[in-house]
Chain A
Amino acid sequence: MKINIAKYYPLIPVYAVYLTMFLVGFFVPGLWQLVALLAFYCALGQSWNIFMGMTGYVDFGYVTFIALGTYGMALGITYFSQFAGLGIAIIFIGLLLALFLSTLSALLEAGIALRLRGAYFAIACIGINEGLRHLIEGAKIWGGSEGMLYWKELTEVFGTETAIQLTTLWADIAVFIIAVIAAFINVYYMRSKIGYALTAIREDEDAAKVMGINTTKYKTIAFLTSGWLGALVGAMAWGLKLTHVFPADVFVIHYTVECIVIVVLGGIGTLLGPLVGGLIYGLSKYWLAIILPGFQLLIFAPIIICIIIAFPEGVIGVVKRRVKGTRLERYIL
């Protein structure tokens, strides 16, 4: 089988940006936290783009996956730290649990919500998010609203030195790796049968169905992939990094909205879009928090409204139109 390398050209600018970010964060002192935040936003944007960008379905409850990923990591560290000799394996067990929980919830959502369209889908997704949060709080599952704290367990297994390194360095590096994987999956899907099927669904689902596309199958594939990546980001950026989880902190729709803002700013359904959007959003949020602490949202909300009305196709959408027909075209997706 011949691999068509040309279809992966658009990855070059993406990986160049990631590499630059990584090197800047690693070698310029004091910038690591900012770079980690940006990587977090870019990774989330790209994970979210796989489903929403390609199908046009608005998963307003996307944060459910991030939250369940966080819980997966929390459970892995809390319960498997008792078994001596597992060592670093508990982190991987945490990741597996994150994948497991997100798969369960993705299948549940796919079963209920993916049969619905438009408004009903968005409402169902919000509903699943809130239903889970209040079920955890109400039935006192996994500590209920008191949440889980597992810094102690982490230090018992790894010792303080390694635990600090894990939470402050390796968790962020893992987010970078997830972002790299998410970018690859984005391109892979866009340039394969899956991507074409999803685009057909976005343009006209009924027509796609009539043409013989198994819409449910492709929607579920994209939904699961998007959910898994979200869960991995959650497990690393929240679960391992913060070493605590509270339902009221993680099942927050604001994070879904952040994902949407990032993707829309950059350009929906594009590869570079979530990256550009993540950088713009992360940087401006960071600077606003420094310049005008407490007023970020007051300033952000009207700006977002204006941008969406004026440039619904996003930065990359505009750039893509500009470079059409030039030699740059094959690098911009």
Chain B
Amino acid sequence: MILELLAGNLIHGLLLGCVYGLSTMGLSLIFGVLKVINVGHGPFIMVGAFVTLAMVTIFGTAPPVAIPAALVVGMALGFAFFYTVMRRLIKAPEFTTLLVTFAIGILLQEVVKFTFGAEYRGYNWEVGKIILTITTIPMTKVYASIGSIIIALLLYLWFNKTRTGTAVRAVVEDSEGARVCGVNVDRIYALSFAIAIGLTVMSGVFLTMFIPVGINPYMGGVYTLKAFVIAVLGGLTSPYGAFFAGLIFGLIENGAYVLFAQIPGVAPFSLTVSLAFWMLFLLLLIKPTGLLGAK
């Protein structure tokens, strides 16, 4: 019985893990290129959720149509914030970048709250479901995972097969060296920041396809924290590491939830969240370069 439950939940975990992975790639990319932790990561995911909501409720489209819109919105936000703010903070001390990215997150939350209101919203998108013996999987979740994998693959191809992608990798490796070799490092900074924000906003679309309710301006915070755990798990600078770490995280989260639910007198949901962070410390203690880190 419990094994069936566990297996069912692990399938959901694997599907959700793909979305988690995508949602963390942006964080890793920004850290890799700019050496900045984006503490305002979650609010960008929230922006993606609201883009979806706007497309579905105002224009009446299906949620996946929101993906290109999210990419456009995300990259526009990315370029805007880069050229107004982040450009000035590239070699700045840590507290300034942490504070500024946090303030950007708050700004996004407040602007969205001002435009859409603070209440919880949601939408409905029924496209059938897959019925297995152990669990039932809505097709929306399957689409969200497949979409995440496709985008991650596209990013992989862009990174490895194009000149610009190679330049980004060179900057991650050694920005001074890249500059010496004739890479326009400042342009790479701007482009990677915009792409990272675009990825994050897009992952917000997929997240709402997974959990189409509870969309509100403050939903991002919990995803910031999850993204931190996943990013460290994946080695912090590597976007693909982050993607696979997302899969692992989704599996652990969903598996642990089933096990904690068996213990009487506890709140399994909170314990699961807590477990994620104890995992983080253990990891930082044993192998700070991440499970999938190279060095």
Contact digits for A11-22, partner B, Cβ 8 Å, 1 yes 0 no: 000000000000
Give the shortest distance, in Å, between A140 (CB) and chain B (any CB).
Answer: 6
Is there an interface contact between A261 and B271, defined as CB atoms closer than 8 Å?
Answer: no
B236 at the interface (CB under 8 A from A): yes
Chain A interface main SS type: helix
Give the shortest distance, in Å, between A263 (CB) and chain B (any CB).
Answer: 8
Contact digits for B81-92, partner A, Cβ 8 Å, 1 yes 0 no: 000010011001
Give the shortest distance, in Å, between B278 (CB) and chain A (any CB).
Answer: 6
Measured in the bound complex, the distance between the Cα atoms of B103 and A264 in whole Å is: 13
Known: A120-B288, A122-B37, A138-B269. A130 touches B225 (CB 8 A): yes
Query: Which of B95, B104, B109, B284 contacts A116 (CB under 8 A)?
Result: B284
Known: A58-B98, A130-B225, A139-B271. A119 touches B31 (CB 8 A): yes
Contact digits for A128-143, partner B, Cβ 8 Å, 1 yes 0 no: 1011111101111000
A173 at the interface (CB under 8 A from B): no
> A140 to chain B: which residues have CB within 8 Å?
265-267
Interface centre among B35, B88, B284 (most CB of A within 10 A): B284
Give the shortest distance, in Å, between A262 (CB) and chain B (any CB).
Answer: 11
Measured in the bound complex, the distance between the Cα atoms of B130 and A208 in whole Å is: 61
Known: A130-B273, A138-B272. A124 touches B280 (CB 8 A): yes
Is there an interface contact between B94 and A56, defined as CB atoms closer than 8 Å?
Answer: yes
Query: Which of B106, B229, B260, B267 contacts A301 (CB under 8 A)?
Result: B106
Is there an interface contact between B272 and A264, defined as CB atoms closer than 8 Å?
Answer: no
Query: Which of A52, A116, A295, A300 contacts B288 (CB under 8 A)?
Result: A116
Is there an interface contact between A60 and B39, defined as CB atoms closer than 8 Å?
Answer: yes
Give the shortest distance, in Å, between B97 (CB) and chain A (any CB).
Answer: 9
Known: A60-B98, A260-B99, A298-B111. A126 touches B271 (CB 8 A): no
Measured in the bound complex, the distance between the Cα atoms of B88 and A58 in whole Å is: 20
Is there an interface contact between B99 and A298, defined as CB atoms closer than 8 Å?
Answer: no
Measured in the bound complex, the distance between the Cα atoms of B224 and A126 in whole Å is: 10
B265, closest chain A residue (CB): A140
Give the shortest distance, in Å, between A269 (CB) and chain B (any CB).
Answer: 11
Q: Could you count the A-B residue pairs with CB atoms below 8 Å apart for me: how many are there?
A: 141
> B35 to chain A: which residues have CB within 8 Å?
119
Contact digits for B225-247, partner A, Cβ 8 Å, 1 yes 0 no: 10011011000100000000000
Give the shortest distance, in Å, between A139 (CB) and chain B (any CB).
Answer: 6
Is there an interface contact between A138 and B107, defined as CB atoms closer than 8 Å?
Answer: no
A121, closest chain B residue (CB): B94
Measured in the bound complex, the distance between the Cα atoms of B204 and A18 in whole Å is: 48
| B-contacting 9-mer, from A38-46, A149-157, A161-169, A304-312 | A304-312
> B272 to chain A: which residues have CB within 8 Å?
138
> A119 to chain B: which residues have CB within 8 Å?
31, 35, 37, 94, 236
B143 at the interface (CB under 8 A from A): no
Closest 6 CB pairs of A and B: A131-B277, A138-B271, A138-B270, A134-B274, A137-B270, A298-B110
Q: A124-B280, A137-B274, A312-B96 are in contact. List 10 more A-B contacts (CB 8 A).
A: A112-B284, A124-B284, A126-B225, A127-B277, A127-B280, A131-B276, A139-B267, A144-B267, A297-B110, A308-B96
Interface of B toward A, CB cutoff 8 Å: 31, 35, 37, 39, 85, 88-89, 92-96, 98-100, 102-104, 106-107, 109-111, 114, 225, 228-229, 231-232, 236, 260, 265-274, 276-278, 280-281, 284-285, 288
